[in-house]
Amino acid sequence: MKVLVIGSGGREHAIAWKLSQSSQVKSIFIAPGNGGTHLNPKFKNINLTDITLIADFAIKETIDLTIVGPELPLSEGIVDLFRSKNLNIFGPSQRAAQLESSKDFAKDFMYRHNIPTAKYKTFKTPDEAHQYINEQRAPIVIKADGLASGKGVIVAMTDKEAHDAVDFMLVDNKFGDAGAKVVIEEFLQGEEASFMVVCDGKTILPLATSQDHKRLLDQDMGPNTGGMGAYSPAPVVTKEIYTKVMDEIIYPTINGMAKDGIPFTGFLYAGLMITKSGEVKTLEYNCRMGDPETQPILMRLKSDLFEILYNAALGQLNSIKIEWDARTALAVVLASAGYPENPKLQDEIYIEDHLISDSYIFHAGTIYKDNKLLTSGGRVLAVTALGNSVKEAQSKVYEVINTVKFNGAQYRKDIGYRALNNN
């Protein structure tokens, strides 16, 4: 079988890596891929990002299955386009992807289907938004309605920050159309977790639980990022919480989408806030796997990823069972200097061979140019390892990190600390 993976991050490298372990998969193309996928002879990078050209490529190469990594092509309608050409693709339609591409759509959907989430209001004009902030007061959360490359959420701890965020989006139009509407919502407190499932429109297959680390610095300090590290499983998702998430969030979401005439196929990611009293609320939906959560999750997957996703794309997920490695997998992201505001690019990356078992260096913002591996994005690598405990997985990852060098590399030293405190 020939498979095409869309995207260029650590998530896509991990998806391709896992697919390459399937006996059914003969060739793996990645559009556009990165330096790491370029260097691996099992993969072929295709320098395309335009969805029409990607569809033409899939026809020409007779691709058997396409898997979409990031949200942008989903919001551009890549799944609808492929289906209109009878191409097999795994992901949500453009309408279903609104669960991620419009916060207003997602909040309205959650309210209509009684899915627990923070109280909110949506605004198009600054005056009403400012007035609402004056009534509700900080801490409060301001969200751009559309896709804003992970920068569209401002957790305002003061009224001034909240008012400034509204002006940034609704007056100065800094996010363009993505910020033409803002969602203002209640500030929630608790511990976050990531909960992902695979869905073929009817059958739901939950993936292993995980926890991301969104802040740049140790102890969850500093600015928000795309994610600086993750591990799986997340002990905060106890059996009781798991059941609650399935009953109160996942089933109502999939059933609600079907009822609304927009059946959901693809990866559904619910970002959770779990309160001290054991309540679970939905912070957000993503219509794709998380990055870097994918890296540890797929390292724990024992089943054949191709078989899961191929059957999901054909609407036959009910025939599939999924098996997990009981060990913990943990990933630490190495980011370039200046990330997230202003990442410095084009630094040479040196990686020594190492002999640490069950570990892998997934590439994200890397490029191979003139026989050199260079940084080409904010998040550069995700070093991932399996261990018999969180502590062991963590030690292995930091040992591998010692074999990697590039100028100004920054990474957190405490990934997994909540799980360690939980033990």
Residue located via tokens 């609407």: 315
**48 in contact with ligand AMP (CB under 6 A):** no
**69 in contact with ligand GLY (CB under 6 A):** no
Residue 119, exposed/middle/buried by CB under 10 A (0-12, 13-18, 19+)? Answer: exposed
Q: Which stretch binds ligand AMP (CB under 6 A): 183-191, 306-314, 346-354, 398-406?
A: 183-191
The option from ligand GLY, ligand AMP, none interacting with 290 (CB < 5 to 8 A, set by class) reads ligand GLY
Neighbours of 214 (CB within 10 A): 18
Give the residue, chosen from 18, 214, 363, 412, that forms a contact with ligand AMP under the rule CB under 6 A. 214
**271 in contact with ligand AMP (CB under 6 A):** yes
The option from ligand GLY, ligand AMP, none interacting with 283 (CB < 5 to 8 A, set by class) reads ligand AMP
Site for ligand AMP in 141-160 (CB under 6 A): 141, 143, 153, 155
Report d(CA 144, CA 138) in Å as an integer: 17
Report d(CA 116, CA 279) in Å as an integer: 9
Q: Which stretch binds ligand AMP (CB under 6 A): 179-187, 236-244, 315-323, 325-333?
A: 179-187
Asked if 152 and 77 touch (Cβ cutoff 8 Å), the reply is: no
Give the residue, chosen from 14, 25, 79, 188, that forms a contact with ligand AMP under the rule CB under 6 A. 188
Give the residue, chosen from 283, 309, 333, 383, that forms a contact with ligand AMP under the rule CB under 6 A. 283
Q: Between 283 and 386, name the residue whose CB sits nearer to ligand AMP.
A: 283
Least separation, in Å, of the C-beta of 345 and ligand AMP?
A: 25
The strands making up 43-45's β-sheet, listed across from edge to edge, are: 43-45, 27-32, 2-7, 65-68, 89-90
Mutual angle of helices 10-19 and 305-313, in 10-degree steps: 100
**291 in contact with ligand GLY (CB under 6 A):** yes
Q: What is the CB-side half-sphere exposure of residue 359 using CA atoms within 13 A?
A: 25
Give the residue, chosen from 187, 251, 324, 398, that forms a contact with ligand AMP under the rule CB under 6 A. 187
Report d(CA 105, CA 316) in Å as an integer: 28
Strands 89-90 and 280-286: unpaired
Alpha carbon distance, N-terminus to C-terminus of the chain = 43
**152 in contact with ligand GLY (CB under 6 A):** no
**212 in contact with ligand GLY (CB under 6 A):** yes
Residues in the chain: 423
The option from ligand AMP, ligand GLY, none interacting with 343 (CB < 5 to 8 A, set by class) reads none
**118 in contact with ligand AMP (CB under 6 A):** yes
**Which are the contacts of 303, defined by CB distance < 8 A and separation ≥ 6?**
320, 321, 322, 323
Q: Which stretch binds ligand GLY (CB under 6 A): 78-86, 168-176, 236-244, 290-298?
A: 290-298
**Which are the contacts of 268, defined by CB distance < 8 A and separation ≥ 6?**
99, 196, 197, 199, 250, 253, 254, 285, 286, 287
Least separation, in Å, of the C-beta of 289 and ligand GLY?
A: 7
**293 in contact with ligand GLY (CB under 6 A):** yes
Least separation, in Å, of the C-beta of 360 and ligand GLY?
A: 18
The option from ligand AMP, ligand GLY, none interacting with 220 (CB < 5 to 8 A, set by class) reads none
Give the residue, chosen from 284, 307, 399, 414, that forms a contact with ligand AMP under the rule CB under 6 A. 284
Report d(CA 347, CA 375) in Å as an integer: 5
Give the residue, chosen from 33, 233, 290, 378, that forms a contact with ligand GLY under the rule CB under 6 A. 290
Tokens of 133: 């902030």
> What are the DSSP calls for 112-169, one per residue?
HTT--B--EEEESSHHHHHHHHHHH-SSEEEEESS--TT--EEEESSHHHHHHHHIII
Least separation, in Å, of the C-beta of 149 and ligand AMP?
A: 11
Q: Which stretch binds ligand GLY (CB under 6 A): 285-293, 340-348, 369-377, 378-386?
A: 285-293
Question: Is the torsion defined by CA of 247, 251, 253, 256 positive or negative?
Answer: negative
**185 in contact with ligand AMP (CB under 6 A):** yes
Element (H, E) at 390: helix 390-401
Chain residues binding ligand AMP by CB under 6 A are 118, 141, 143, 153, 155, 185-188, 192, 214, 271, 283-284
Residues that bind ligand GLY (CB under 6 A): 212, 227, 286, 290-291, 293
